[in-house]
Amino acid sequence: MHRLTPLFQFSSVAVIGATDSTRMGAGPWRALSDLGYTGRFYPINPRRAEVHGLPAYPDLASVPEPVEAAVIAVARASAPAALRACAAKGVRAVTAIGGGYAETDDEGRALQAELAAIAREHDLLFVGPNCFGVASPANRCAIYAGPGLDQAHAGNVGVISNSGGFLPELIEYGTPKGLGFSHFVSCGNETRVTASDVLDYYIDDPATDVVLAILESVRDPSLFRAAAERALAARKPIVVLKLGVSPKGARAAFTHTAALAGDAAAYEALFRQYGIIRVDDLDDLIEMGALLSRAVGHLRARPLERAGVIDISGGGKELICDRAAAAGVELPELSAAAAAAIQAVLPAEVHASNPLDTTGNWQSPWIDALYPVVLRALADEPGIDMIVSRFGVPTQGDLGVIRQRLDTLLEARAARPDPLYVVLSRTANQFSAEWTAAIWEHDLPAVQGYGRGLRALGRLAAYSRHLRARASAAAATAPAAGAVQLPADAAPAGRTLLNEVEAKDLLRAAGLPVMATTWARSANEAVSQAAAHGYPVVLKAISPQVVHKSDVGAVRLGLADGAAVARAFDELRAVVTALPGAEFQGVAVQPQATPGVELVLGAQRDPQLGPLVLCGLGGVFVEVLGDVALRLAPLTPFDAQQMLTELRGATLLDGARGAPPVDRGAVVNALLRLSALLLAVPTIASVDLNPVFATADGLLAVDARVALQAEGQQ
Ligand code: ADP
Ligand code: MG
């Protein structure tokens, strides 16, 4: 039994503040009746003798039997007393459905803190406040106050939402598309039970195969990550609709459930790291949930990446090619055998291909003979994972000839169940009631609209590829990140930015490949250090006021001899002293590196999600190109490898224009070491290695910046 099970399974419920009419007081009863709850129910209301036709109790203590679960449906000022009463009565699972807490004002914040303290003290499974609560169509019970549960079918999709308001639409629009639910949790302000706890529960829950999450923020990133990792192992896909990714959206999130939406890029990194399927709006969330709920059995047994598609029209065929390419759905060419089998039943002037354009329409009589042959030929193709039939699904009325085509499809599926059979409709319009009934009756994956439908198939394919890449990487041996050994004097007191020499010393000690660099206070020192490094050398000014050296002309490249070094020293001193308020502290002396592919490696801390590691292409142009990949620390070797494949310019690493391929292992190693460094040294705020020259022989960072946390910020 999972520690959260009492929230989802119980047979006695009390509602504190139950009424016959008000939204808050009557909502929990309606939710229970909507789900066909058959357990015991205790309305608590000192001002009523009866509620919902049942005897009301003046308080929880007066209930003569034990109570497993409760809803607090009273005004906020009375909520702490109600929660204490729950603890005294031995109630395990409690939701507080009203609003007016941390999202509203100081008094609300104080009340919420009090609720949190009571829940912690008594170890209560407390959901909310400011939420709809928990509903379980799978177990026919609820401590919930939202509408629409009467329409919800029991199914294998578990929902977590920071926004209760989306749930009625998820039910109303999802049900006709075949979306059925195991449980819903609207977790509101998450004072005790968080979305991460619920995710953790869903991964263990046998009734849940797919998780849909509508998130404003992840309050417990390490639990979330552990659960997401287990979800991959269990092949339970997670689909996230992240709210508050734009700067304006983030502010709205703050006022909504008092959550600070984290930096959008950090969340993107989190989701990519665990193969979490990201959608941008509610329609795509529904589409994805409905598809996955029916594809998950196949997903556990085989890849789902390559589609064979049957359309009726030439225009449809072209649109499928365009949308599939954009969505990342592969459309393999037919084998000679499949092409011959299909060609045999096609009119002579029509060419067998994938996607197939049969010509005519679904009413055409020759489709009777053609369609089963095509389905069979595609099922025989080892390179095809999904067979997509683009039907003309009516928006209303009966199915007409589509009923017959559907029967053919079902026969083909029964005979050859190994590929996934999907129906695609032309537009994202509403389906007819008869089609909806067919989806439910035959457990049929049906996606809507060329664009949205293929996007859903593309997301499914990306998830499948992630599972495969992860499985093959697990077999590969991981390079050891090595322990981080730092010199005791690495972080000078009172400063937050290390100079280039200090930064490189620290990073070298952490095992990162940085160019040997020394600090010269005089021209003479610079000349003798240059000789020791070996010519040609590079000189750069050291000054606390100069952060971006080349911006102010403080870098001298390709110095060939002592005279050039002495001259460069004087020039750099002149450059710095000419800057208002800048102090010249000497120069950094280092060998000139052999050029390679210019990378940027770095790390920084996200206030919500913790240390992030970055890999980018383009050196000085990284900001312009924006070609970067991010992951959260701790990084696995698989994560680091994925970062490299994710870069748009990844082919540069394979040796563009005749160059030998870059040593990817060295890059992976450096990323792992950056991850280890940020975890080991909490005083480091950020690291920036730009540029790093990558060649076939390894890596070398020629510039480094390290920022330390300001005092009291750690
Ligand atoms: P900043 O980023 O502060 O402007 P850098 O140290 O990155 O200064 O130097 C600017 C550019 O000079 C780098 O992008 C790189 O192209 C070149 N450069 C710097 N150090 C070296 C070096 N040791 N060898 C070769 N090129 C270098
Ligand atoms: Mg630089």
- Helix H, strand E, coil C: the string for 339-376 is HHHHHCCCCCCCCCCCCEECCCCCCCCCHHHHHHHHHH
Q: Which of 305-309, 359-363, 643-647 has the lowest mean pLDDT?
A: 359-363
Kindly report, residue by residue over 414-428, the tens digit of the pLDDT: 999 999 999 999 987
| Ligand 1: centre distance to CA 570 (Å) | 19
Which residue pairs, CB below 8 angstroms and at least 24 apart, start in 41-47?
41/12, 41/13, 41/14, 41/15, 42/12, 42/13, 42/14, 42/15, 42/67, 43/14, 43/15, 43/18, 44/14, 44/15, 44/16, 44/17, 44/18, 45/17, 45/18, 45/19
pLDDT attached to residue 564: 98
Predicted local distance difference test score (pLDDT) of residue 486 = 60
CA of 699 from ligand 2 middle (Å) equals: 15
Ligand located closest to 701 CA:
1
Q: Is the CB of 455 under 6 A from ligand 1?
A: no
* pLDDT over threshold 50, residue 487: yes
Across the range 642-657, mean pLDDT stands at 89
Q: Is the pLDDT of residue 99 over 70?
A: yes
Question: pLDDT grade, residue 710 (50/70/90)?
Answer: confident
The conformation of residue 594, written as its DSSP 8-state character, comes to P
Q: What are phi and psi of 674, to 5 degrees?
A: -60, -40
Output the CA 598–ligand 1 centroid distance in Å.
Answer: 11
Q: What is the pLDDT of residues 42-85, one digit of tens each?
A: 999 999 999 999 999 999 999 999 999 999 999 999 999 999 99
493 pLDDT above the threshold of 70: no
Residue 537 CB neighbour total at 10 angstroms: 27
Does the C-beta of 540 come closer than 6 Å to ligand 1?
yes
User: Which tens digit of pLDDT belongs to each residue from 348-374?
Assistant: 888 999 999 988 888 888 899 999 999
DSSP 585: -
Indicate if ligand 1 lies below 6 Å from the C-beta of 590: yes
Q: State yes or no: pLDDT of 251 exceeds 60.
A: no
468 band by pLDDT with thresholds 50, 70 and 90: very high
Write out the DSSP string of 23-52.
HHHHHHHHHHHHHT--SEEEEE-TT-SEET
| pLDDT of 515 strictly over 50 | yes
Percent of the chain with pLDDT over 90: 81
Tens of pLDDT, residue by residue over 122-149, are 999 999 999 999 999 999 999 999 999 9
Whole-number average pLDDT of the chain: 92
Residue with CA at minimum distance from ligand 1 atom 18 = 702
Q: What per-residue confidence (pLDDT) applies to 263?
A: 75
Task: Decide: 657 in ligand 1 pocket, CB within 6 A.
Answer: no
Question: Using an 8 Å Cβ cutoff, are 393 and 423 in contact?
Answer: yes
Confidence band, pLDDT 50/70/90 cuts, at residue 633: very high
β-strand partners of 389:
310, 423
Mutational pocket test of ligand 1: of 537, 702, 705, 706, the residue with most ligand atoms within 8 Å of the beta carbon? 702
25-34, 271-280, 303-312, 388-397, range with the lowest pLDDT: 388-397
* Cβ(548) – ligand 1 distance below 6 Å: yes
Residue 252 pLDDT: 44
Chain-centre distance for alpha carbon 507: 31
Question: Could you tell me the pLDDT band of residue 19, with boundaries at 50, 70 and 90?
Answer: very high
Closest CA to 443 of 409, 415, 467: 409
Nearest bound ligand to the CA of residue 620? 1
Going by CA atoms, what residue is nearest to atom 23 of ligand 1? 592
Ligand nearest to the CA of 690: 2
Q: In terms of pLDDT, which residue wins out, 360 or 382? A: 382
pLDDT tier at 257, thresholds 50, 70, 90: very low
Residue partners of 654: CB distance under 8 A and separation at least 6:
661, 662
627 lines ligand 1 (CB under 6 A): no
Q: Which of 232-236, 562-566, 592-596 has the lowest mean pLDDT?
A: 592-596
CB 557 less than 6 A from any atom of ligand 1:
yes
By most ligand atoms within 8 Å of CB, the mutation choice from 689, 703, 705, 706 for ligand 1 is 703
Ligand 1 atom nearest to CA at 548: 3
- Say what the alpha-carbon torsion angle 129, 131, 134, 137 is, to the nearest 10 degrees: 170
Q: Which of 504, 529, 557 to mutate to test the pocket of ligand 1 (most atoms within 8 A of CB)?
A: 557
Q: Does the Cβ of 703 fall within 6 Å of ligand 1?
A: yes
Tell me the ligand closest to 550's alpha carbon: 1
Count the neighbouring beta carbons within 10 Å of the beta carbon of residue 593: 16
Tell me the two tokens of residue 338.
């499949």
Q: How far is the CA of 562 from the centre of ligand 2 (A)?
A: 25
pLDDT tens digits, one per residue of 532-546: 999 999 999 999 999
Q: Is 552 in the pocket of ligand 1 (CB under 6 A)?
A: no
For ligand 1, the distance from its centroid to the CA atom of residue 661, given in whole angstroms, is: 23
538 Cβ closer than 6 Å to some ligand 1 atom:
yes
Task: Give the model's pLDDT for residue 606.
Answer: 87
Ligand nearest to the CA of 546: 1
Q: 554 C-alpha vs ligand 1 centroid, how far in Å?
A: 10
Tokens 């009746």 sit at which residue?
33
Least confidently predicted of 16-20, 152-156, 481-485, 581-585: 481-485
Q: What number does the ligand 1 atom closest to the CA of 703 have?
A: 6
Ligand 1 pocket residue status of 553, Cβ below 6 Å: no
What pLDDT score was predicted for residue 475? 59
Bond before 536 cis per omega within 30 degrees: yes
**pLDDT exceeds 50 at position 256:** no
> What is residue 175's three-state secondary structure?
helix
Q: How far is the CA of 709 from the centre of ligand 2 (A)?
A: 21
Rounded percentage of the chain residues whose pLDDT exceeds 70: 93
DSSP class of residue 139 equals T
Nearest listed ligand to the Cα of residue 702: 1
C-alpha of residue 329 to centroid of ligand 1, in Å: 42
- Using a 6 Å cutoff on CB, does residue 354 contact ligand 1? no
Q: What is the mean pLDDT of residues 262-284?
A: 91
Q: How far apart are CA 25 and CA 7, in angstroms?
A: 20
Residue closest via CA to ligand 1's atom 19 equals: 702
| 549 touches ligand 1 (CB under 6 Å) | yes
Nearest-CA residue for ligand 1 atom 21 is 702
- Judge whether 21 and 29 are in contact, CB under 8 Å: no
Q: Tell me, in angstroms, the distance from the centre of ligand 2 to residue 690's CA.
A: 4
pLDDT band at 254 (very low <50, low <70, confident <90, very high): very low
User: How many whole angstroms from 536 Cα to the centroid of ligand 1?
Assistant: 14
Q: What is the atom index within ligand 1 of the atom nearest the CA of 591?
A: 23
Q: Is 497 in the pocket of ligand 1 (CB under 6 A)?
A: no
CA of 673 to the centre of ligand 1 (A): 22
Q: How many angstroms is it from 640 CA to the middle of ligand 1?
A: 25
In this structure, the residue with its CA closest to atom 2 of ligand 1 is: 548
Q: Do residues 677 and 686 make contact, with C-beta atoms less than 8 angstroms apart?
A: no
Q: Is any ligand 1 atom within 6 A of the Cβ of residue 528?
A: no
- DSSP code at position 306: B
Q: Which residue puts its alpha carbon closest to atom 15 of ligand 1? A: 691
Q: Shortest CA distance to 163 belongs to which of 82, 256, 226?
A: 256
Q: For residue 704, report the distance from its CA to the centre of ligand 2, in Å.
A: 7
Rounded to the nearest angstrom, the distance between the alpha carbon of 487 and the centre of ligand 2 is 24
CA distance 608 to 465: 29
CB 542 within 8 A of CB 588: yes
pLDDT of 620 higher than 70: no
